[in-house]
C-alpha cells in the first residue's frame, strides 16, 4: 500500500499516514525500507512522485549521472528516450538484484555483453558479432572521452 505524501508550496513534505512533516532524507529512508509512496502537490493535486524521487536521487547520489551522460540523455529525446531508458534501467536493475551478491558474474558482464540484450540497437546488422564489435568500439570511444 502506498503512503500519501503531500508537498506544500513552501516545499515541505507531509506524511499523511503519520500526520507529520518529513524531510527528503526521511522520505529516502522510507523507500529504502521498502515503503511505496505517492507524492502530490497539495495546491494542484498533481502527482509529482517521479519528479520528487528524481530530485532525491540527484541530491543524494552526486556523480551518479555524469555530465556526459546527461548531455547524451538530453540529445536522445522524445520517444527514443522514453522507450529505451526505462527498459534499460529496469533490466539492468533486475540483473543487479539477481546477481548482485556474485561479483564474479558481474565481471563477466561487460557493457558490450549487456548491450547485446537490447535488440533495438542490433536492428539491420548482419549478425550479433557485428553488433558486439560495434558496441565495443562505442564503449572504447566513451572510455576515451571520459579520460579527458
DSSP 20: E
Residue 92 banded pLDDT, cuts 50, 70, 90? confident
Confidence of residue 5 (pLDDT cuts 50, 70, 90): very high
Please name the residue that has the C-alpha cell 548491450: 115
Q: For residues 120 and 131, is the Cβ–Cβ distance under 8 A?
A: no
- How far, in Å, CA of 79 to CA of 83, rounded? 6
**Full domain range(s) for residue 122:** 110-148
- Unique residue bearing C-alpha cell 568500439: 137
Are 76 and 47 contained in the same domain? Answer: no
pLDDT 10s digits, 65-86: 888 888 888 887 777 777 888 8
Query: Is the same domain home to 12 and 51?
Result: yes
Is 127 inside any structural domain? yes
105 in a structural domain: no
- What is the per-residue pLDDT across 108-132, written as a single tens digit (0 to 9) for each? 665 656 656 555 555 554 555 665 6
Give the Cα separation of 12 and 85 in Å (integer). Answer: 30
Q: Nearest-CA neighbor of 6 among 18, 129, 66?
A: 18
| Residues 49 and 9 placed together within one structural domain of the fold | yes
- Model confidence, pTM: 0.60
Residue 104 maps to a domain: no
| 69, 90: one domain | yes
Specify whether the CB–CB gap between 30 and 3 falls below 8 A: yes
Mean pLDDT of 17-35: 95
Would you place residue 60 in the very low, low, confident or very high pLDDT band (cuts 50, 70, 90)?
confident
Domain identity same for 90 and 128: no
Domain count across the chain: 3
From residue 57, alpha-carbon distances to 49, 51, 62, 90, 137 in Å are 12, 10, 8, 16, 31
* Same-domain pairing of 42 and 16: yes
Amino acid at each position: 500500500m502506498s503512503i500519501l505524501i503531500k508537498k506544500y508550496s513552501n516545499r515541505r513534505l507531509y506524511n499523511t499516514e503519520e500526520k507529520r512533516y518529513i524531510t527528503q532524507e526521511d522520505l529516502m529512508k522510507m523507500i529504502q525500507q521498502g515503503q511505496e509512496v505517492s507524492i502530490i502537490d497539495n495546491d494542484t493535486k498533481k502527482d509529482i512522485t517521479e519528479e520528487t524521487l528524481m530530485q532525491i536521487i540527484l541530491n543524494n547520489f552526486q556523480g551518479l549521472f555524469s555530465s556526459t551522460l546527461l548531455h547524451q540523455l538530453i540529445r536522445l529525446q522524445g520517444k527514443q528516450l522514453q522507450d529505451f531508458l526505462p527498459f534499460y534501467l529496469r533490466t539492468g536493475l533486475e540483473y543487479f538484484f539477481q546477481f548482485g551478491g556474485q561479483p564474479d558474474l558481474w565481471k563477466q558482464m561487460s557493457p558490450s555483453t549487456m548491450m547485446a540484450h537490447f535488440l533495438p540497437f542490433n536492428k539491420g546488422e548482419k549478425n550479433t558479432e557485428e553488433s558486439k564489435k560495434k558496441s565495443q568500439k562505442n564503449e572504447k570511444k566513451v572510455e576515451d572521452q571520459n579520460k579527458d
